[in-house]
Structure 1
Amino acid sequence: MPAVSWREQAEKGTVPAVELAVKPAAERQESYLQNVIKQFLRHKMAVAGLLVFVILILMAALAPVLAPYDPSTIQDEFSAPPSAKYWLGTDQVGRDVLSRLIYASRISLSIGLGSVAIYVAIGTVIGAVAGYYGGKVDMIVNRIIDIFMSFPHLMVILVLVTIIGPGLSNIILVLGLLGWPAVARLVRGSVLSIKQMEFVKAAQALGLSKRQIIFQEILPNAMAPLLVNATFGAATAILSESSLSFLGMGVQPPTASWGNMLTAAQSITTLKSEPWLWIPSGLMIVITVLAINFVGDGVRDALDPKKK
């Protein structure tokens, strides 16, 4: 028996008029979400990237179960090559490389997700306020953004980390506080476009406060480019942490991170004769960044109205 739509049931008098007004909106919303998911699933590399990223999160969460040894425990062999006992060998101090690689995923993912959460929150609020109010507020915010974006990003990070000291929480804080200008500019542009639409004018006519209009009416409609930026930002944050740790200004030993594990690659002897000390961590950085970037590509294509 063919399904009967809510509108047909309403015309026959079997559904109240209130349900008729509510149900189609829910159906349209469900249809939009289904369409976004369908578009994302068509992007094979994005699906593969999402699968890899989920595996990395599970590996970080289950690190105590998966790691064969404690990452800081010194074993009885130094710079041992991969073997049945040590699958990825040991480092110069005698610590198991595989165990350190698994625990290091916690550090890199924490920095990537934590810093993005901070600067997306800051940039969204600043960009939304600047775009909605305009005028002098917009001009002042734009000048501040220009000042922040005029400095070399990595150099500023190095200076700040040197002043406040290296460490996991400090790196997350510095990356989060320096990453907001790009998000603010992106949100500002979206708000400038959305605030001219009819539903915003209707909300103003109904007497909603400016805060309600910005955070309840405008921002939910500006989330698509923000989600794409956040995915790419997580990959950038992981690369920044790796660079800092490689330079000795990131997460400090004995805490393992993919960046400080690469520090061994500074030695020519290690590069030539002990590849197990730097290839695994380098591959993990490449795989993680590629996976996140592929997810970002998939989200961008799924939210692109031209592909609906």
Structure 2
Amino acid sequence: MLDIKRIPLGAWIGLILTSLFLICAIFAPWLAPYGNGEIVGDVWGPMTSTNLLGTDNLGRDLLSRMIYGARITIFIAVLATALAFSLGSILGFTAAVVGGWFDSLMSRFVDLLMSIPTLIFALVVLSVLPANILTLILVMGILDSTRVYRLSRAVAVDINVMDFVEAAKLRGEGRGWIIFREILPNALSPLVSELGLRFIYAVLFLSALSFLGLGVQPPSADWGGMVKENKDGIVFGIPAALIPAGAIAALAISVNLVADWILNRTTDLKGGRGNA
């Protein structure tokens, strides 16, 4: 059972920040003081009581744009990460269990995809396909699944030769049982650790694509696109571009703190059961 008093300070910071970002993402229409594209003041206006973070390059409320940007950024990153883990882990576990030609074919195909720089590959694909949210999720998820596949296969190969898996095979259990009931529960620790890293990679990847103009398209807002929109203001000492950049960094740190705590907790629980 979870003991709140034993949660370390770093995990508390990560949980609080991550929760705040999630609340902003879920309740954006109710939390934002203005509409996403509503012009409320002058260009790059200062911070006031009505515009707590000032205004952006078009005179829109920066706080409202940040809240709506959190929604789009986290929504796309979560779905892309879910797709990457669903696709990569299932294929990785299957390749380890089946082996033979299927394992060789999948591994060589993944090697081919990983040999191409991810950002360049995404830019080529997105320059041909329509740059909408569905396309972004599919491209990011499929490209990221190659990393998950490598990790899942490596973990599953080690688990697949253990005694309890051999016993399940002797009982006549099918491959589905072996993958989901024997391998998956014992591979959760490294996958949980990788989950935080992959989510942050998805956020950074999306931000990079938006900064280059092939990510989320205006008038929708995501944090990478907001950095691009307001980058010229840095020359004049306007912090409008630094605020979304700081939000990206804060989200990355908070999610990693939570992922590290979960990994340490699951490792400690397994160690405690083993000692018992």
Map of 2:246 onto structure 1: 283
**Structure with bigger gyration radius:** 1
Give a deviation string over 1:27-46, Cα, whole Å, max 9, x none: xxxxxxx4xx5699544212
Map of 1:156 onto structure 2: 121
Determine whether 1:147 maps to 2:76. Answer: no
Map of 1:21 onto structure 2: none
User: CA shift at 1:116, angstroms?
Assistant: 0.6
Give the letter aligned to residue 227 of structure 1.
Answer: V
Give the letter aligned to residue 55 of structure 2.
Answer: T
Give the letter aligned to residue 66 of structure 1.
Answer: L
Identify which of 187, 194, 197 aligns with 1:229: 194
Map of 1:15 onto structure 2: none
Report the 3-state secondary structure (helix = DSSP H, G, I; strand = E; otherwise coil) of the residue aligned with 1:179: helix
Structure-to-structure mapping, 1:78-97, within 5 angstroms: 78-97=43-62
Using the aligned pairs only, state the percent identity.
Answer: 34
User: CA shift at 1:47, angstroms?
Assistant: 2.7
Map of 2:234 onto structure 1: 271
TM-score, length-normalised on structure 1? 0.82
The answer on whether the counterparts of 1:79 and 1:94 sit within 8 Å (CA) in structure 2 is yes
Count residues in correspondence: 271
Map of 1:186 onto structure 2: 151
User: CA shift at 1:285, angstroms?
Assistant: 0.7
Report the 3-state secondary structure (helix = DSSP H, G, I; strand = E; otherwise coil) of the residue aligned with 2:187: helix
User: CA shift at 1:84, angstroms?
Assistant: 1.5
Map of 1:120 onto structure 2: 85
Give a deviation string over 1:191-213, Cα, whole Å, max 9, x none: 11112222222222222222222
Report the 3-state secondary structure (helix = DSSP H, G, I; strand = E; otherwise coil) of the residue aligned with 1:304: helix
Gapped runs of 5+ residues in structure 1?
1-33
The answer on whether the counterparts of 2:41 and 2:55 sit within 8 Å (CA) in structure 1 is no
Output the CA distance in 2 between the equivalents of 1:291 and 1:230: 13
Give the letter aligned to residue 154 of structure 2.
Answer: G
Give a deviation string over 1:108-148, Cα, whole Å, max 9, x none: 10121110100100111110111112222222222112111
Give the letter aligned to residue 142 of structure 2.
Answer: L
Alpha-carbon RMSD across the aligned residues, in angstroms, is: 2.0
Q: Against the structure 1 CA distance between its residues 40 and 244, is the aligned structure 2 distance closer, same or farther, given a 3 Å change threshold?
A: farther
Give a deviation string over 1:185-238, Cα, whole Å, max 9, x none: 111122111122222222222222222222222222212111111111000100
Structure-to-structure mapping, 1:1-308, within 5 angstroms: 34=1, 37=2, 41-267=6-232, 270-304=233-267, 308=272
